[in-house]
Structure 1
Amino acid sequence: MTGEQLPTRHIVVMGVSGAGKTTVARGISELTGLRFAEADEFHSAANVAQMRAGIPLDDAARWPWLRALAAWMAERHAEGVSTVLACSALKRAYRDELRQGPPEVEFLHLDGSAELMRERLRLRVGHYMPASLFDSQRAILEHLEPDESGMVLEVAASPDDLVRVAIDRLGLPLRASVAGH
């Protein structure tokens, strides 16, 4: 081995709660083989308890979480493994922190009707993030800026359609087992 790094891709599926981040990121992972991670699983117990109580996290609580996510992507990059991460990444500063991990991070922002996402949250079972925090997330959301690598997809499309469009627009190769069928 010459020490040359294998090319990797690092995709962050971002947006507010109810946008479908986890569903789309898992779908991308299943069809492409990119290593999936759910950012919520990187939160400290204190952060989870705070959100479960309906209290939005402040930036001080988010920085260690974001640094852990950036480090996870950087470690996968060092292993030559591409990743897809479901993460809110609501502010530019948060996305800047995620970009401190691997050499390049691409963002896929799932955005759309607040009413649709509220309805999805109402129907969601078994998640610690209460629907009451939805408005606080929408209030701090900073859309991708022109200099950020990424794209926006409308959440009104079906999850399967979102996955297919994302894979196509990102130019991600399908796993051999998927491509042959």
Structure 2
Amino acid sequence: MTDTITINGTERPIPEDPRVTLLDFLREHVGLTGTKKGCDHGQCGACTVIVNGRRINSCLSLAAVHDGDDVTTIEGLGTPDAPSAMQLAFVEHDGYQCGYCTPGQICSATAMMDEIAAGFPSDASPDLQGDMFATPDEIRERMSGNVCRCGAYANIVAAIRNVAEEGAR
């Protein structure tokens, strides 16, 4: 047991209170406020982060269970001077309006691209085996856990398709 969580490349001690969610740990203990608290029930995706390469709703997960894990938040995907390809695509395609859900959308989309590359099927996949592709239907299905109350979905799909076509993340 290491008693630490690596967040965006920096080891942090696990909070002493075992009831602290990963979301509250990131925001209140570490000071990374890019991850948003939306519904606090795992229904909106605003709190999506990447843990060991997989996207999760950080509001539903206790920080204590992530001992030794590698967590990536929106702050760990890129910087204002060097944004990730997904962050750039969201800007270029206006994949946000109010911006509240955008960090969760970008983290989810980034991890989703890895899922597709690894051949993980979804309900929209035509086959359970073989190559997976970032088609509009596939993207919509895989991103269905991330809600945008402003309705920027068409632009979000366009941004993700752009990254998929360029082969970047």
Same fold per TM (> 0.5)?
A: no
TM-score, length basis structure 2: 0.25
TM-score, length basis structure 1: 0.24
The structure whose residues are more often helix, as a share, is 1
- Greater RCO structure (CA 8 Å; 6+ sep): 1
